[in-house]
Amino acid sequence: CETKNLAGFISLAEAYVPIEWKYLAALTTNCSYSIAQDRVLHVINRSLNLEENGLGMIMLTEEGKAFPSPQNRVSLGSRGDSFYEYLLKDLIFSADVAEDKLTKKLWSSFRAKLPGLFAEGRPVDRTPGSSWPHKTRKEVPRGRSGALGGWHESWKDAPSPWLFLKEVTPHQTVPKMDHLVCFLPGAIALEIFHSEKKSEVDLQLAHRLPQTCGHMY
């Protein structure tokens, strides 16, 4: 049956979904599934100049250009988040076999431009001994899994400024952080896990964003 694009635009996050198709190509040995996704990425790159800009508008025309709308913007939240996550996962999945290095170039460009979206906000001052965010100064060990595993906020972290990611339109900065930005720390951590050199700056980024998300949501 024929489908229609009722919204009139395509979301950046939904335009490029390489992992499912490239895994299907690997299972079936049918490279056409993979090639189609690489072509999509090339179209988006040419239209938005991602190799230089690093960040793309979240609403696209069918030709891959920025959709003319006052609501269009650069955002790592809704309509934008998955695109960058897929860039990294495609880079990891295809790194050893990919002849086309565009994915690596775009991820590197994205990481270079990402700090331009950072904004800090200082939380309400809390003194040690208050009931929030901790009832005691005693540090809780991270543990290997379960309730004591993963991310935690220490007394050292508590008074530090919270880190936000703003949105940007062609005309102004939007002081808004979508909840889907909270997936970004996982992508940063995944990049660190697969990197030969572990960056302390990136580790701090992957730690500080969940702090903001934890208090906001």
DSSP for 161-179, written as a single string: PEEEE-EE-SS-EE----G
* Residue 124 CB-half CA count within 13 A: 4
Q: What percent of the chain has pLDDT over 70?
A: 78
Tokens of 200: 């302390």
pLDDT score recorded for residue 86: 94
Helix 81-94 with 102-113: angle, nearest 10 deg: 140
The answer to whether 152 and 140 are in contact (CB under 8 A) is yes
Conformational region of residue 129, where left means phi above 0, alpha means psi within -120 to 50, and beta covers everything else:
left
Tokens of 17: 């979904």
pLDDT score recorded for residue 46: 94
First to last CA, the chain: 41
Three-state DSSP class for 10? strand
Place of tokens 């230089």: 52
The answer on pLDDT for 149 being more than 70 is no
For the ranges 6-10, 60-64, 77-81, the lowest mean pLDDT is seen at 6-10
The answer on pLDDT for 40 being more than 90 is yes
Q: What is the pLDDT of residues 94-122, one digit of tens each?
A: 876 666 789 999 999 999 999 999 998 87
Mean per-residue pLDDT for 36-50? Answer: 94
The answer on pLDDT for 145 being more than 50 is no
pLDDT score recorded for residue 151: 56
Residue 179 CB coordination number (10 Å): 12
The one-character DSSP state at 50 is: H
For the ranges 10-24, 78-92, 115-129, 171-185, the lowest mean pLDDT is seen at 115-129
The answer to whether 183 and 91 are in contact (CB under 8 A) is no
Helix ranges, the chain (H): 12-15, 18-28, 32-48, 50-53, 81-94, 102-113, 184-193, 200-216
For the ranges 89-93, 171-175, 186-190, 194-198, the lowest mean pLDDT is seen at 194-198
The answer on pLDDT for 34 being more than 80 is yes
Mean per-residue pLDDT for 170-178? Answer: 89
Separation of alpha carbons 110 and 176, rounded Å: 20
Tokens of 216: 């906001």
Q: What is the pLDDT of residues 200-214, one digit of tens each?
A: 888 888 888 988 888
Separation of alpha carbons 76 and 212, rounded Å: 15
Q: How confident is the model at residue 3 (pLDDT cuts 50, 70, 90)?
A: low
